[in-house]
DNA sequence: AATATAGTAATGGTTAAACCATTCTAAAGC
DNA sequence: GCTTTAGAATGGTTTAACCATTACTATATT
C-alpha cells in the first residue's frame, strides 16, 4: 500500500504519501487508516515519528483521530473542509476587525447572490424555500427560538454560496461563518423588530434568486449584509463606550 | 513562563498555551522558544508529546523549526501568513478548476481595485508606479525577462490588495497568488503581444487608482483579469485536446 | 426475557532513555 | 591569517513499556 519512508524528516515523507493517497482518491472519505502500530510497520519507522505525521494530517484537516477500540484515523472529505486555521485564527484573535469582515461579506456575498440567481435549479429553490419557512416558524415561536433563527439565516447565506457553484467562494464563506458567531454572540442585538426585518430581506432575496434576477439578488444581499453589519457595529460602539 | 499541562490530549494543551502566547503578543515574531528538552520540563511532559505540539504549531504556520546548534523553534509573524494549507491543497490538487479560480478573481479583484482607488495615498501610488516601471523594463529587455514580468504583474495585484486595506481580502488573494502559478506555468501563453497588452492594462489601472476613479479601477481590473483568464482557458483547451 | 454490570481487548495517548544527524563554534594546526 | 577538525547543542528517531478510552461480550440480576 505504501512505499517505505525516506528523506530528512521521515514524518514529512509519511505525511506526503498519505496525503497523496487521500487527495488522489486512493483513500476515500470515511475510510479508516490501519492502526498506528500497523502503519509503523508499513512505513518501517517508529510509532513516535508516525504519530507526528498523523498529527500533521489531523491539523491539515485530512483525517480525524478517535481513541478506543474501533477508533483510529478516519479520512475526511476533501471538499467543504475549512479553508483554514489561519483565517480562523485571524478572526478569533481579532486581527481582523468587524469592519473588515463586514466589508468583505458585503462585497463577496453580493457576487455570490448574483451567481446563485443565475445558476439555481428547481431543487436549489426548494431548499431555499424550506429554509425560509423554517426561519418563519422560529420567528413565530418567539424569543426562545431566536438563536435558531440566526442559525437558519446563516444557513441560507451558505446555501447561496453552494448554489453559486464555485468551491472557492463556498469554502471561504464557510470558514467565515464558522467563526463569525464570535462577533454575533457579542454584538448582534436580539430584537424582534430586527429579526423580522431580516426575515423580510431573506424572503425578497429568495424570490429574486427564484426569478433569476441576478442584479437584484446581488444588491438585495449587499443591502441585507450591510444593514446587519451596521447594526453590529453600532452595538459594538455602545458596548465598548 | 507556562502553566503545567493538563487535559485529555496533553499536546493540545501545550499547543494552546504557546499559541495563546504568540497571538497575544507575549511571544513576538523572531523570538526563539526554549529547546525541546527545556520545554519538556516546563510543561512537565515527555519529549514525544511536546514534539507533537510543536509539529501542530509548525503546521499552523506559527513557528519554524530548525535543526543544529542555535537552531530551535522560531516564532513567525502572525500577519501576512498564508490563509492556509487547505485552500492551497484545493488549488494544488485541482479540486478547484481554473474556471472557478478565474471567476473568483474577477469578482474579488474588481472589488479590491475599487477599494484601492478609494484609499490609496501618495506612498501607495509611488509603489505602484515603481512596480509599473519595473514591469516596463522587463518587457523592453525581451523574452528572457518575461517570467520576471509575470511576477511583477502579480505583485501589482497584491499591492492593490494591500492598498485596499482589508486583511481578509489581502490574505485570501495572497494564498491564491502563492498557488496559482501552478496554472500559470502550464497554461499562460508567453507571447510578446499578450504581455504588452497586459502592461497597457496595468498602466490604465494604476492611473485610475491614482485619480481615485473607483468604478473605473473596478471594471478595468475585472476586464484585465477576465481577459487573462480567457487566454489561459483557451490554452488549457488546446493543450488537453 | 430484558436489562444492568463487569470484564476484556483494541486503539490512541504518554512516558523514558538512549542514540543519530545537523550545524554552529572554537580550538588546533598549518 | 586561513583552514581543518573536534566538540557541543539542538532537533530527529528509535524502542519498549504503560495508561486511558471505548466498544463489545459474557455474566449476573431482575
The answer to whether B55 contacts A55, with C-beta atoms less than 8 Å apart, is yes
Q: Taking CB atoms and an 8 Å limit, are A83 and B84 in contact across chains?
A: yes
pLDDT for residue A6: 42
The sign of the dihedral angle between the CA atoms of A43, A48, A49, A53 is positive
What pLDDT was estimated at residue A90? Answer: 63
Mean per-residue pLDDT, A205-215? 96
User: A70, B74 in Cβ contact below 8 A?
Assistant: no
Helix (H) or strand (E) holding B73: strand B72-75
Q: In Å, what is the separation between the CA of A1 and the C1' of D26?
A: 37
- Whether A213 has a pLDDT exceeding 60, the answer reads yes
> What does DSSP assign to residue A211?
T
pLDDT tens-digit series, residues B70-108:
889 998 876 545 445 556 666 656 567 778 888 899 999
* Triad A137, A143, A145: Cα angle to 5°: 45
> Dihedral through CA B169, CA B170, CA B171, CA B173, nearest 10?
80
For residue A99, count other CB atoms closer than 10 A to its CB.
13
Distances (CA, A) of A62 to A16, A30, A69, A74, B86: 12, 11, 21, 9, 9
Q: Do A172 and B172 touch (CB under 8 A)?
A: yes
C-alpha cell at A54: 498523523
Q: Identify which of A238, A241, A224, A235 has the alpha carbon closest to the alpha carbon of residue A187.
A: A235
Residue A75 in contact with residue A62, Cβ under 8 Å?
yes
Nucleotide nearest the Cα atom of B58 (by C1')? D11
Which residues neighbour strand C (beta carbon < 7 Å)?
A 8, 33, 35-37, 47-48, 51, 54, 65-73; B 8-11, 44-49, 52, 66-71
Cβ contacts of residue A230 below 8 Å, gap of 6+?
A: none
Whether residue A27 contacts residue A39, with contact meaning beta carbons closer than 8 Å, is answered with: no
Question: pTM for the whole thing?
Answer: 0.69
Whether residue A9 has pLDDT greater than 70: yes
Which residue ranges in chain B fall short of pLDDT 50? 1, 4-7, 80, 82-83
- pLDDT for res B109: 95
Site of grid cell 484585465:
B224
Cβ-contact A120, A164 below 8 angstroms: no
Report which DSSP code applies to A75: E
User: Are A80 and A39 contacting, i.e. CB atoms less than 8 angstroms apart?
Assistant: no
Say which residues have a Cβ less than 8 Å from residue B232's Cβ, sequence separation at least 6: B98, B102, B183, B184, B187, B188
Closest CA relative to residue A98, chosen from B79, B19, B84, B167: B167
> Which of the residue ranges A10-19, A38-47, A201-210, B77-86 would you say has the lowest mean pLDDT?
B77-86
- C-alpha distances in Å from residue A50, one per residue of A9, A12, A187: 11, 9, 44
Buried b (16+ CB within 10 A) or exposed e, B12-42: bbbbebbbebbbeeebeeeeebeeeeebbeb
Whole-number pLDDT of residue B190: 80
Determine whether the interchain pair A90/B168 forms a contact, defined as Cβ–Cβ distance below 8 Å.
Answer: yes
Place of cell 510543561: B43
Is the C-alpha dihedral spanning B102, B104, B107, B111 positive or negative?
A: negative
Residue B5: the pLDDT is 46
For chain A, the average pLDDT equals: 85
Which three-class secondary structure state does DSSP give residue A113? helix
A47 burial via Cβ count (<10 Å: 0-12, 13-18, 19+) = middle
Per-residue pLDDT of A123-140, as tens digits, reads 999 999 999 999 999 988
Own/partner pairs for B91-94, CB < 8 Å, 24+ apart?
A: B91/B176, B91/B179, B91/B180, B91/B182, B92/B179, B92/B182, B93/A23, B93/A24, B93/A78
State the sign of the Cα–Cα–Cα–Cα dihedral A186, A191, A193, A197: positive
**Nearest residue (CA) to C1' of C12:** A67
> Is A60 within 8 Å of B108 when comparing Cβ atoms?
no
Given a contact cutoff of 8 angstroms between Cβ atoms, the answer to whether A103 and A54 are in contact is: no
Residue pair B63/B54 in contact (Cβ under 8 Å)? The answer is: yes
Q: Which nucleotide is nearest to A68 (CA to C1')?
A: D22
> Can you give the pLDDT at residue B145?
86
Q: Residue A5 half-sphere exposure, CB side, CA atoms within 13 Å? A: 22
Residues in chain B: 241
Instruction: For residue range A108-119, list pLDDT tens digits in order.
Output: 999 999 999 999
pLDDT at residue A80, as a whole number:
43
Q: Closest CB to B166: pick one of A24, A51, A100.
A: A100
Residue bearing the bigger pLDDT, B39 or A234: B39
Q: Give kind and range of the element (H or E) at residue B143.
A: none
Q: How far is CA B48 from the centre of its chain?
A: 33
- Report the residue from A61, A89, A111 with minimal CB separation from B86: A61
Strand partners, B204: none
Question: Which of B71, B79, B83, B118 should we substitute to test contact with A (largest number of A Cβ atoms within 10 Å)?
Answer: B83
Contacts of B236 (CB under 8 A, 6+ apart): B98, B186, B187
pLDDT of A54-70, one tens digit each? 999 998 878 899 888 88
A63, three cell numbers = 483525517
Q: Using CA atoms, how far apart are residues A170 and A165, in angstroms rounded to an integer?
A: 8
Question: Across chain B, how many H-helices and E-strands are there?
Answer: 10, 2
Amino acid at each position: 500500500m505504501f512505499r517505505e519512508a525516506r528523506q530528512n524528516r521521515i514524518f514529512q515523507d509519511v505525511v506526503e504519501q498519505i496525503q497523496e493517497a487521500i487527495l488522489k482518491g486512493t483513500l476515500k472519505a470515511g475510510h479508516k487508516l490501519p492502526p498506528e502500530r500497523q502503519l509503523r510497520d508499513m512505513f518501517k519507522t517508529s510509532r513516535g515519528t508516525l504519530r507526528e505525521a498523523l498529527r500533521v494530517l489531523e491539523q491539515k484537516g485530512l483525517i480525524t483521530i478517535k481513541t478506543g477500540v474501533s477508533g483510529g484515523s478516519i479520512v475526511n472529505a476533501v471538499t467543504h473542509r475549512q479553508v483554514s486555521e489561519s483565517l480562523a485564527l485571524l478572526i478569533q484573535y481579532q486581527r481582523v476587525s468587524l469592519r473588515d469582515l463586514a466589508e468583505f461579506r458585503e462585497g463577496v456575498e453580493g457576487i455570490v447572490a448574483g451567481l446563485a440567481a443565475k445558476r439555481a435549479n428547481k431543487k436549489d429553490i426548494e431548499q431555499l424555500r424550506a429554509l425560509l419557512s423554517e426561519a418563519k416558524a422560529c420567528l413565530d415561536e418567539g424569543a426562545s427560538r431566536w438563536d435558531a433563527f440566526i442559525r437558519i439565516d446563516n444557513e441560507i447565506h451558505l446555501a447561496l454560496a453552494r448554489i453559486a457553484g464555485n468551491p472557492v467562494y463556498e469554502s471561504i464563506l464557510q470558514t467565515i461563518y464558522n467563526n463569525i458567531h464570535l462577533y454575533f454572540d457579542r454584538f448582534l442585538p436580539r430584537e424582534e423588530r430586527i429579526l423580522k426585518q431580516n426575515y423580510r430581506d431573506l424572503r425578497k432575496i429568495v424570490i429574486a434568486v427564484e426569478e433569476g434576477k441576478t442584479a437584484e439578488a446581488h444588491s438585495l444581499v449587499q443591502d441585507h449584509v450591510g444593514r446587519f453589519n451596521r447594526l453590529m457595529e453600532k452595538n459594538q460602539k455602545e458596548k465598548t463606550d
